[in-house]
Every structure is written in C-alpha cells, then in structure tokens.
A = this chain, B = another copy of it.
Amino acid sequence: METNSWANKTFNETKASSESLLKELRLPTIRRFPKYLRVLWDLSSLGRDFVSSDKIANELNIDPITVRKDLAFTGVIGKPRIGYSIPLLINGIEQLIQSNGQTNILLIGAGNLGRALLGYGGLEKHGYNIVAAFDSDLNKVGTTIHNKQVYNIEQLTEITEKVNIEIGVLCIPEDVAQKTATFLVKAGIKAIWNFTNTELKVPEHVTVLSEDLASSLAVLSVNMKRNSNKKAKEE
C-alpha cells in the first residue's frame, strides 16, 4: 500500500473520523482554527477556491508547517502546487469547532460587557442560539438588546425549567458569580463561559472557560517592558 497518495479520501471519511480526531486536537490548534476560518472566509468572498499553507501562514504571521499540521486534523488533503480546497477546509474546521445541532445559551448580566457579547455575532455563527439575557436591574428588565429579551434574574428558574439550556455566559459582579454558577449547574447546564474574575467551583462534567483580562494585561505589560529594555540597550 502506498503512503503518499493525494486526494483519495472522501468527504464521508472525513466526517466519520471527526470524533476520534477531536481527542487529538491540542489547545493551540483549536485556538488557531477560528483564525484560519477568518482568512478562508475572506478568500472565499474574493472568489478564490484554493489556498496554500504559505498564504495562510503569511496572513496570520505564523509558521506554514504549523498551518499544515493543524489543517491535517480536518482530513482535507492538499495538492502540491495548488494548496487546499477552501470550501472543504471551511467545512472541515466548522465540523470540528462548531456546536452539533441547536445549542441554547443564556446570558446572565446585561451590563456593558453583556451587551457587547449580545452584539457579538460569533455565537450564532458557531451554531449557538442565545435564548435570553438576565439582569437584576429593573430598568433593564423588559427591554430587548440586539433582539434578545432581558428577563428579571428571578425568572431564571422559570426559563431553565422550560427550555433546555446548555451554556451560561456570566457577565455579572464577582460576588454573585459562584452562586449563579451553582444555580446554573443545578439547572443542568453543560458549560459556563466565565467573564468574571472568580475561580468557579463546579462538578467535573461541567465545562468552564474563563476569560481573564488581568492575565492579558500582564502579558501586555511584560512585553512592553521587554521591548523598552531592548530599545534602551540599542541606544
């Protein structure tokens, strides 16, 4: 049997193996996928059908070898001198990182950050459905933000009993973060996207992803110091 045969895998094989590939996916690769998608969407809208790993790497300022390794997870086979099929890549990446079927989301906390997230189209683009937003501020309750109804936080149980919610997005003050998380877990939620600076304690089976601006700021800060040290030495 030959080892290096191009373009023999069918689309169905790709799809069938996606579950096992999922296990092998590493964090840095997953983080790069949406960046690839952005480049691919752009090229696609320009009417291009194929793209090389070099081209993608250039756009994103990363190494082409990294790109090829990452793209290998989609199961899409590139052709020498041509590159990869853009539609197949888009499909392949989406298979890996998008939700399967309808996934319902609640957003808790309709402050500025919450509003910003309601305006961010990414959730819908990835196959998620924002069901509603919640807030304790009665001035906000009853309004709609980006077409989403804002409910009183007291009505949370009411809604979670009626609709199957899989993800909760927490944009609330720290002091109520753990309490709310615990409530959501009891309501059967599967994942929490945590925009508070609290380390949430949840059971094993609940996926938590925390955003931490302070961590980012620390990185920015250190990088700046390094850069200025560098410049100081040059002078």
Task: Name A's B-contacting residues (CB within 8 A).
Answer: 19, 22-23, 25, 27, 30-35, 37-38, 59-61, 96-100, 111-113, 115-117, 119-120, 122-123, 126, 166-167, 190-191, 193, 197, 199, 205-207, 209, 211-231
Contact status B222-A35, CB under 8 Å: no
Contact status A216-B209, CB under 8 Å: yes
Contact status A221-B98, CB under 8 Å: yes
Interface of A: prevailing SS: helix
What are 14 of the A-B contact pairs (CB < 8 Å)?
A: A19-B229, A23-B226, A30-B222, A31-B215, A31-B216, A35-B212, A38-B197, A97-B221, A99-B221, A122-B217, A191-B224, A193-B217, A193-B220, A207-B227
Neighbouring B residues of A217 by C-beta, 8 Å = 34, 122-123, 126, 193
Known contacts A33-B218, A34-B212, A122-B214; A223/B112 CB under 8 A: no
In the assembled complex, the Cα of A127 lies from the Cα of B161 at a distance in Å of 46
- Say how far A231's CB is from chain B's closest CB, in angstroms: 6
Copies of this chain in the oligomer: 2
In the assembled complex, the Cα of A212 lies from the Cα of B30 at a distance in Å of 12
Neighbouring B residues of A211 by C-beta, 8 Å = 216
Neighbouring B residues of A166 by C-beta, 8 Å = 224
In the assembled complex, the Cα of A211 lies from the Cα of B212 at a distance in Å of 10
Neighbouring B residues of A60 by C-beta, 8 Å = 199
Neighbouring B residues of A206 by C-beta, 8 Å = 227
Q: List the B residue with the shortest CB-CB distance to A37.
A: B214
In the assembled complex, the Cα of A167 lies from the Cα of B220 at a distance in Å of 10
User: Which single member of B190, B218, B223 contacts A224 (CB below 8 Å)?
Assistant: B190
Pairs A-B, 7 closest by C-beta atoms: A34-B214, A112-B116, A113-B116, A112-B115, A31-B215, A97-B218, A209-B220
Specify which of A37, A166, A222 lies most central, judged by the most chain B CB atoms within 10 Å of its CB: A222
